[in-house]
Amino acid sequence: MDIRNQNLEPDCFYHIYNRGVNGDKVFQENDNYKFFMSQFLKYLSGVCDLYAYCLMPNHFHFVIKIKSQKELFDFFEEKNERPIKRGLHSVESLVSKQLSKFISSYTQAYNKVFDRHGPLFESPFKRKKIDSEKYLKTLIVYVHQNPIDIKKNFQTYKFSSYTTVLSSLKTNLKRREVIEYFDNLENFIFCHNNIIDLKF
C-alpha cells in the first residue's frame, strides 16, 4: 500500500520522520531549528499532540498523538472549511495535509535564505503507527538518543525534547503524560541510560 494512502487516524500515536533529499542537511544554523519548531506548532498544534522530538542536521523525528475526531472537526470549523467524506479536504486527510503545509512552509523559507530551489525533504514523509505502550516508550527513548549518532551527548542536546521533559519551563510538549508513561521522572532517566537501536 502506498504510504500516501495511509491516513493518520484520530486518537492514535505515530512516529513521523524524514530526512533531507540525498541525506543533505536541512538545518544549517540554530535559527533553522527554532523556526522549524515554530512552524510545527503553527501548522500541527491544532491536529496533534507532541510527545517527543529530535531535530538532527539532516533529518527529524516526531512522536505525536493525533487528536480526537471531534477535535479534528473543530479544527475544520475554525478554518471555516466544510469537511467532506473523501479526498484531500476530508477529515481523514487533514493531518497529512497539515504536515505537508508545515514541511512546505519550512522549505520555502529555507530555500529563500540559502538561495536554493526545489524540495528539501524526501517525499512522502515517513510515518509508522505506534501500536503498543511498550513500543511508544522504546521509541521515545530512541528518538532522544539520536544525537549519539553524531557523537553528541543526548542529555544536553539542544534540539530534542529530552531536556524539555526534565525542565519545568512552559512547553507545548505533553511532558506530564510522557513522564506518566515511564511512571516517574527517575525511571524516565533510567530508561534512557540503555542504548536503543531501532532500524528504519
Q: What is the pLDDT of residues 116-144, one digit of tens each?
A: 999 999 999 999 999 999 999 999 999 99
Cell of 149: 549518532
The CATH code that applies to domain 8-191 is 3.30.70.1290
Q: How far apart are CA 134 and CA 193, in angstroms?
A: 16
Q: Does position 81 have pLDDT exceeding 70, yes or no? A: no
- The domain segmentation of the chain, as residue ranges, is 8-191
Q: For position 198, what pLDDT does the model report?
A: 76
**Which amino acid is residue 187, in one-letter code?**
N
Nearest to 27, CA basis, from 63, 53, 56, 62: 56
Among 67-81, 114-128, 165-179, the range scoring the smallest mean pLDDT is 67-81
**What pLDDT sits at residue 78?**
77
CB burial of 8-22 (b: ≥16 within 10 Å; e: otherwise) equals bebeebbbbbbbbee
Q: Which residues pair with 129 in a beta bridge?
A: 14
pTM above 0.85, yes or no: yes
